[in-house]
Structures are given as C-alpha cells and as structure tokens.
Amino acid sequence: MTFRAPVRELAFALKTAGFEAVLERYPETDFETVEAILEAAGAFAGEVLAPLNRAGDQIGATYANGKVTPVPGFAEAYRAFARDGWTSLTADPEHGGQGLPKAVELAVSEMVQSANMSFGLCPMLSLAAIEALTLHGTERQKRLVLPKLVSGEWTGAMVLTEPQAGTDLAALAAVARPDGAGGYRLYGQKIFITWGDHDMTDNLVHLVIARTPDAPPGVKGISLFLTSKRLIDEDGELGSPNDFRPISIEHKMGIHGSPTCVMLYDGAQAELVGELNQGLAHMFVMMNAARLEVGVQGVAIAERAFQQALAFSQERVQGKALWSAGPSGPIYDHPDVRRTLMLAKAKIEAARGICLMTGVLADLAKVAASEEDRAAALVRQELLTPIAKAWSTDVGVEVSSAALQVHGGMGFIEETGAAQHYRDARIAPIYEGTNGIQAIDLSGRKLKTTNGSAMREVCAEILLTAEALTESPDLIQVGRRLAAGAQALEKATDWQLAHQGADSLTSATPYLKLAGDVIGGWVLARQALAAAGSDAPWLQAKAPLAKLYASQVLAQAPGLAEGVMDTLPEMAAITPDALVG
C-alpha cells in the first residue's frame, strides 16, 4: 500500500501548536520554507523509505560472525538520507548543522518513522547523541565526533540496559577502568541496544553508562562514556577496531529491520563525557530527547496503519452499506467502520498536536525573548513530555489495532501488511521508559515541581478555549465537554498532589490518560476553531472530528477522574495466589 506523507496536516498542526511564536525568533526562516522542507521530507519518505518497510519486516536485520547486516536497501537509503541533510536539521551550525527549530525536526521525523519505523530508529538515536554531546561533550568530542554525527557520516547509539538492570539503573554492573593515559577501558555486557552495530557507515559511536571502580553505589556512581567502533586519532582519522562487538541480535515481535543488539565490551577504549558520577543527568539529555521522538513514533505508526485501513475500507465491498446507493457498498459506508476510522483520525491529530506542542515549547525554552518566557516554556515542556511519550504511543497501539480490525480477517493475515503495523507499534509504549514509568514521572515529579501550578495553568487555558467554542453554534457541545474535562483534570491533579505513596502510584497511569485525553481534546478544539469557514474538505472535517472525540473520549473524563481518586486499599493485600482461579 502506498504511503502518502501527511504534509498539509503537519503544517496545519504546527501552526495550531503555536509554531509562529518560534519562527519570530528565526528571522531567516519563514513558514513557506518550512513547508518546502516538509514537502521534500515527505517525498523522500514516500519514495525511498516506505518501499523498504515490507522487506524490513519480512527479511529483517541479520547477524553472523560477530557482525550485523542491515536489510538490503537500507544502507543506500541511509547514505541518501545523510547526503540530503536530514541528519543535521536542528544541530548547531557550529558543528555543521542547519540550526532549524526542534518542532520542524519532529514533523520530519514523523514522516520518516511512518514510512519505515525500523529505519527511522537509527537517525533518531544519533539525534539523541548529538544533543548529549552538544551539552556535555569535551572539546575533543565536539571537534572530532559531533560533526560526523551531524553529517550522518557516523551514527550514534544509546547504551544503557543490562541483563540484570532494566529500568533499575542503580543495578548496572558495567565498569570503566582508568587506563593510566587519561582514558578508560570498558568492560561489561549490554542488551537491547538499538542499531548497536551495522555496516551502513564506517564508524559508530556508543554513549555508554558505566561506573568506575571507586564510584559511589547506586545511581550516584554512574558516569557516561563515549566509545567508538573504530578508534579515532587526534586528527579524526579512523584506526583499528575497538574492543567491543555484538554477540547476537534479538528476535522480536516487530521492528525486524532494526537490529537490537547484545553488546560485549571487553576492554574497549573510551573517554568520559561530562563530569564523573554525573552520568545519570547527562544520559537523561539523550533519554528525554528520545522520549519525545518515541511519542512521535506512536503518531507515525498510527498514521501509517490508518492510511492502509482507510484505503482498504474503500476497496472492500461487503453487504448492504447504509450510506451506499446500491445493494452492496464499500465497508467505509458502514457506520461503525466510518466511526472507527474517524475516531482513529481524531486521536492521531490529537497525539500529533501534543507532540508538536511539546516540540514548540522545547524551542521556546531556548529562544524565547525573555528569561521568564524561556523558563515558563521549559516547565510546560517538561510537564508535557511524559504525556507526549506515553499517551501518543498508546494511541499508536490502539489505532493500529483498530486499523487491523477494519481489515477483518484479512488484517490477521500477514499478506496484507496490517499486522506489521500493530507488531511494530507495540514496542513504543515499552522502550525509553515504559509508559507506567512516564505516568509516575508525571504524577510523582512533574506535578510536584510546581506544586501543580503548571497543570492548573494548562487547565485554565483549556477553559478559555472551551469558552471560545461556545460562541460557535456548531461547537457548543464540544466546548461543554472540554470544559468538563478540564475541570475533571484539575480536580484529579489536586487529588494527586494531596496523596502520596501507593495511592498516587496506583492511580498514576489513569491520571496520565486523563491528562492526555483532555489535552488531546484541546488540540482538536483549537484545530476546529482554526479551520472554521474553510472550503477545503479536509479542514471542514476538523469540526466533526472534534465532535466525535468529545462524545467518545472527553465525555468519559469526569468518570476517569473519579477512578483516579477512588483508591483500592485492598490491593496491597492481594497476593499472586489470590489471582489464580
């Protein structure tokens, strides 16, 4: 099935996410330029990357004799991707980058991930490495390594997880021993290392967390190290292979084209990134960048699955369709199928808006005119990041499942390709911090940072939008339900802040869902208002999408808030045996 990059939707979503405030700080970049970038990226995604997606699933990356070989065609596509400048969009011009806003890069990333999620993971992790080295790299690393990552000549990998230490980084055992010459030697095994090895470039850079022999216990003893597949001399020339290698790749449910490596470090030469024993903070620069990118992945795979389901629904003729004239019609004309597709579309637009809104805030946190405005943007960006990651990736799974359902039995058959989207989507709620961890981060950290004021300010702005909706006769009910949702979110926020321990932890996930549902409704409401009066059919659909979302999702917000606040003290006493019938 042909993939069509949603360029006009992305441009519209950027505008309604407040992107024009960012462009005011980029006098050399106008919106027409941004649209041209999106058009070019969409063409590359559709013409080069999308055709490789099926082979990525069916053939997959392979491992033999200590080396990983990517899917046929991936290497050529990657070299074209780097040559055309897609690896350097947001990087600092000082290091060879184009210095564009983060929100533009996220919009481009969505099209790349939608066309080929397995491929898109490789440059995504390089972007995270670029951000970490830009902030914390040494002069040598910025001179020799950073420009190569920015140009795409080399790729980066984020190396965190160990067999005994998943999320619990305090339990990691990898050791970096001083080598007596100002560097370190890395020892240990790491798992789940995405694109940890390949032959698409002549070098790979790993950013590895480990502890030195005399480091404090727990997370306070974690440091961040840079090591590369081939050694780099002081002139930037590549030398002999370093002492690390993949020892296997995982056989996964999905994203078969992305090699997930088990890596062995056997005395690999490495150098410190940033400060000793500050690796956790340095690593979170990468992690937070990757979390927003993964939220975009959720949107991307939902978009890809939706497009295929929408096309199938117009091709598949079955039974008497209520909205068809003849004795039979396409399943798109069956009310429940159309409702399913419209609700999927609404959730995609809501998730896209949340991710791009977070990207706009990331830009404003750097370039807003005043220190006060930059600080305010950063606070809201940090508040929305766990929502963007978790809620959007849940949407990815939900929409890809609904899209498979539209196919009926044909969706369960691998031949149609619908199952691949569902299988690929399922990893996104898991990696870069499971969605349960995102929920705990939201309720346990981000709310408390401002004692809830950041979320209350969001609720206040949502209520202003709800009031504006009541001035449009066609959107009055949307406004009422959006207002009720905002009030429910504010009430649940106050409850979360007033409760600690098990009560807060057990309600964290439904609280994040409530926040995502309501903020997603806010996105759709703003889009409906912005599209009012348009003659374009795709913009005329914004109001019906907002209405459907309000009736199917926002209407449930008050009940969901009640569930957040309805604790279950008996849960602590329920043993595993009690759950066995």
Token pair recorded at residue 49: 């990357």
Strand extents, DSSP E, 81-134 = none
Give Cα 19 to chain centroid, integer Å. Answer: 19
> What are residue 194's DSSP bridge partners?
260
Dihedral over Cα of 249, 250, 256, 258: its sign: negative
Helix (H) or strand (E) holding 36: helix 31-44
Helix (H) or strand (E) holding 545: helix 542-552
Q: With respect to CATH, is domain 443-568 assigned 1.20.120?
A: yes
275, 432, 457, 467: the active-site residue: 432
CA atoms within 13 A on the CB side of 362: 25
Give Cα 79 to chain centroid, integer Å. Answer: 24
CATH 1.20.120 boundaries in the chain: 443-568
Nearby residues of 447 by Cβ (< 8 Å), 6 or more positions away: 383, 454, 455, 493, 496, 497
CATH 1.10.540.10 boundaries in the chain: 7-151
State which amino acid sits at residue 377.
A
Q: Are 285 and 204 in contact (CB under 8 A)?
A: no
Q: Are 404 and 340 in contact (CB under 8 A)?
A: no
Q: How far apart are the first and last CA of the chain?
A: 45
Q: CA–CA separation, 480 vs 232, rounded Å?
A: 61
| Planar angle of CA 98, 133, 296, nearest 5 degrees | 65
Q: Are 225 and 270 in contact (CB under 8 A)?
A: yes
pLDDT at 397: 98
Q: Are 466 and 486 in contact (CB under 8 A)?
A: yes
Q: With respect to CATH, is domain 155-282 assigned 3.40.50.720?
A: no
> How many Cβ atoms are within 10 Å of 329's Cβ, its own excluded?
18
Candidates 295, 292, 298; CA nearest to 425 is 298
pLDDT at 137: 96
Q: CA–CA separation, 74 vs 82, rounded Å?
A: 12
Q: Are 401 and 411 in contact (CB under 8 A)?
A: no
Candidates 478, 532, 544; CA nearest to 343 is 544
3-class secondary structure, 158? strand
pTM: 0.97
432 is catalytic: yes
Q: CA–CA separation, 8 vs 38, rounded Å?
A: 9
What are the φ/ψ torsions at residue 162 (nearest 5 degrees)? Answer: -125, 160
Residues of the chain with pLDDT under 70: 1
Give Cα 471 to chain centroid, integer Å. Answer: 35
pLDDT at 1: 59
Q: Are 511 and 497 in contact (CB under 8 A)?
A: no
Question: 398 vs 303, 426, 439, CA distance in Å?
Answer: 12, 9, 18
pLDDT at 289: 83
Q: CA–CA separation, 91 vs 279, rounded Å?
A: 22
Nearby residues of 284 by Cβ (< 8 Å), 6 or more positions away: none
Q: CA–CA separation, 54 vs 257, rounded Å?
A: 9
What are the φ/ψ torsions at residue 314 (nearest 5 degrees)? Answer: -90, -20
Query: CATH for 7-151, among 1.10.540.10, 3.40.50.700, 3.40.1160.10, 3.40.1010.10?
Result: 1.10.540.10
Q: CA–CA separation, 281 vs 272, rounded Å?
A: 14
